[in-house]
């Protein structure tokens, strides 16, 4: 089984192209698979291998505890040179769409891994953790704070589109049923869906709040 060696250049991680050295740690952290697929360039040859990450208790730059996925590689810039690329308006807009796509797919993978039992559900937080981390990030300046708010907005917008009654996605689901059936669902059926949606949302809020309080050391 091939292993990563010195001077290997990482091209892709889990079929996602690596654009910069920052992408490597991001893609490893956001991976939810048991094995992470690496494609590397070694002496003009492309090699694909799988790595099973270890979960290590760690602390991020803000002092928050988390379980970090580690694969045991040391990163360094290509040819030991760091290049800063200035983007124009069109390139910046394209990168923003790519980032929205990445956050969306990563969030869906994470939620899917939680339902299958493979994901770390302790990382799911609610309003308390958002407020805590927002205050910590704000100390680093306005740009990191705005960036974090953008990530949160993307995640909340995605959840709002889930086909759960009480959310906008639930209303779209009812419109889809009405389009297919040629008539709206009965009042009784809609009330049943709303009860299910209320139960799901309250359960999610309870679980997220429990994680938040646990993160604060109250449990």
Cα distances (Å, whole numbers) of residue 209 to 1, 64, 111, 126: 44, 16, 17, 6
Rg, the chain, Cα only: 21
- The per-residue pLDDT for range 173-198, each reduced to its tens digit, is 999 988 898 888 888 888 898 899 89
pLDDT of residue 1: 47
Please state, in angstroms and rounded to a whole number, the distance separating the CA atoms of residues 25 and 181.
48
- The per-residue pLDDT for range 41-72, each reduced to its tens digit, is 888 788 888 888 877 777 666 666 667 777 77
Residue 212 in contact with residue 126, Cβ under 8 Å?
yes
Q: What is the mean pLDDT of residues 28-53?
A: 81
Element at 36 (helix H, strand E) = strand 36-42
Please state, in angstroms and rounded to a whole number, the distance separating the CA atoms of residues 111 and 99.
18
- The per-residue pLDDT for range 100-154, each reduced to its tens digit, is 888 888 888 878 777 776 666 777 778 888 888 888 788 878 888 888 888 888 8
Q: Would the pLDDT of 81 be above 70?
A: no
């Amino acid at each position: 089984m091939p292993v990563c060696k010195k001077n290997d250049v990482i091209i892709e991680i889990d079929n996602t192209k690596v654009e910069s050295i920052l992408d490597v740690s991001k893609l490893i952290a956001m991976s939810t698979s048991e094995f992470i697929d690496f494609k590397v360039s070694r002496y003009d040859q492309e090699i694909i291998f799988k790595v099973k990450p270890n979960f290590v208790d760690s602390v991020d730059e803000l002092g928050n505890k988390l379980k970090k996925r580690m694969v045991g590689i040391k990163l360094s810039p290509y040819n030991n040179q760091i290049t800063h690329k200035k983007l124009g308006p069109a390139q910046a807009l394209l990168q923003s769409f790519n980032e929205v796509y990445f956050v969306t797919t990563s969030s869906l993978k994470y939620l899917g891994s939680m339902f299958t039992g493979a994901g770390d559900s302790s990382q799911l937080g609610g309003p308390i953790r958002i407020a805590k981390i927002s205050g910590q990030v704000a100390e680093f300046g306005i740009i990191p704070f705005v960036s974090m708010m953008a990530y949160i907005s993307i995640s909340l917008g995605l959840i709002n589109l889930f086909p759960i009654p009480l959310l906008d996605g639930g209303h779209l689901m009812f419109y889809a049923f009405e389009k297919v059936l040629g008539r709206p669902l009965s009042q009784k059926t809609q009330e049943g869906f709303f009860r299910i949606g209320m139960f799901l949302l309250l359960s999610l809020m309870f679980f997220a709040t429990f994680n938040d309080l646990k993160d604060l050391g109250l449990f």
